[in-house]
Amino acid sequence: MSISPRTMEEVSTLGLYLPPGPVDEILIPSGTISDTNRPLYEVVAQYGNTVHAVINGVPIIATQDPQIITYVLVDQRKEFLHGYGSSLEAVFDGSWILLPHEPHRDARRKISPAFNPTSLSGLYSTIERVIDSHINEWLSKGNFSCIEACTGLTLEVIASLIGLPKSDYAKYRELYPIISNGAYHPLGSTELANSIIARTELIQMVARVIADRHNNPANDFTSLMINAGFTDQQVMSQDIVLGFAGHETTRKVIASAIMELSRHPELMQGIMHERASENNLSNVTFRPTKNMGLTNRIILATLLSYGPATLLPRVAQVDSTLPNGFQIPRGWQVKLFMESMHEKIFGNRDFDPKRFLDPTDEQRKHFAPFGLGPHACIGVGLAMQEAFLVLQKLCDYTWQTTINPSGKLPKDIEIKNFSRI
């Protein structure tokens, strides 16, 4: 349920103690969600770790303070709901991730067995088959866009895991960029309208899988969710979220890791040596621990440098007092700068797998590339295992990367001369 944010007049009357920030409202042209977030980084740089601002009439608290982020996501999580916004809510309509705390907790408990190590190990052969197929495709091309190649790979992994037939893979890959693009544009935009149309077409594809799985259960996520007691509508919505979250983050991590491996060939030798020894896939983790394997450390270093969860949005349900004494008024948006927090606790976000050989207590506690608390990404195990498998298999190949100097990583990475060693 939407809560009207307290006005500045109410905040003043109640004597709520806001963190520092600009006096004047910040006005920017209408654009994507990223466009509206960008000025907040400048406010944080000017006023400190926790700030307030009003952007286009929307009151916001933003922070990169690890203690405040933990307070919002874990300690007092019931005081804050997701802040995905109307566009993402339209795309994720019907999914359990949009539910309030108790229903969300119950739904997560029902679906979590599908993502535990035992279930994921049962899907290993499916994931490996898709990875092998795409690496062979890369081999036949030799030169290709890294992000496009990784997008195709990760989307097909999800398509196979939800049970889509191979005849639908090409259409699935065509629809998802349209769905993803619209999710970051405002209500009323052409991009969001196209996203909803594409989502409707994808739901029809998924509905055919669900109907079949009622009579012919299989080893895939759709059957696991049906067995967990989800309704057909809930399964459809969750399959949409799986595609969105399951490829957006993983493709970026894999593409960025490929770039770093080309810059650091000695790491490829280390992965090859590690692969030759006993290395249990079930030990792969996103939590920094002492003496973890090299491949795992490379993935964590990539997540730190090019992490998917750069900013997490929440909305305050009540007036809330933070550990540092500042207060968040009811209904205000809360922007959690995960990327900036990581830079704060690690000193920098430069790619360096060695930093995960002996992480500090603070780094272990606050490293959160997939979020924190009960709303953290439930598919983190799948993402880690997928990236792990790709990197270990790439030891048998060699390539060079070129980067468009005017572009942004990782979308402008080009792979050249991809060939078998």
Length of the chain counted residue by residue:
421
Q: What is the chain's Cα-based Rg?
A: 22
Contacts of 43 (CB under 8 A, 6+ apart): 21, 22, 26, 51, 53, 62
Exposure letters 199-225 (e unless 16+ CB within 10 A, then b): beebbebbeebbeebeeeeeebbbbbb
d(CA 386, CA 236): 23
Give residue 405's pLDDT.
62
Residue 183 φ/ψ region, left for φ over 0, alpha for ψ in the -120 to 50 degree band, beta for the rest: alpha
Contact 400, 416 (CB under 8 A): yes
| DSSP letter, residue 236 | H
With 0-12 CB in 10 A as exposed, 13-18 as middle and 19+ as buried, what is 228?
middle
Nearest Cα residue to 127 out of 322, 13, 270, 284: 284
Give residue 412's pLDDT.
73
| DSSP letter, residue 277 | S
Contacts of 21 (CB under 8 A, 6+ apart): 43, 47, 51, 52, 53
Nearest Cα residue to 387 out of 271, 273, 289, 290: 271
Q: What is the tens place of the pLDDT at every residue in 343-382?
A: 999 999 999 999 999 899 999 989 999 888 888 888 888 8
State the pTM of this model: 0.90
| DSSP letter, residue 26 | B
- Identify the segments of the chain with pLDDT beneath 70: 1-2, 30-35, 278-283, 286-287, 289-291, 404-411
Contact 47, 26 (CB under 8 A): no
End-to-end CA distance of the chain: 57
d(CA 175, CA 155): 11
Contact 401, 413 (CB under 8 A): yes
With 0-12 CB in 10 A as exposed, 13-18 as middle and 19+ as buried, what is 27?
exposed
Q: What is the tens place of the pLDDT at every residue in 232-276?
A: 998 998 888 888 887 888 998 999 999 899 889 899 999 988 888
Give residue 291's pLDDT.
64
Give residue 107's pLDDT.
87
d(CA 333, CA 357): 37
Nearest Cα residue to 262 out of 382, 363, 400, 132: 400
**CATH of region 79-304+340-420:** 1.10.630.10
Give residue 290's pLDDT.
63
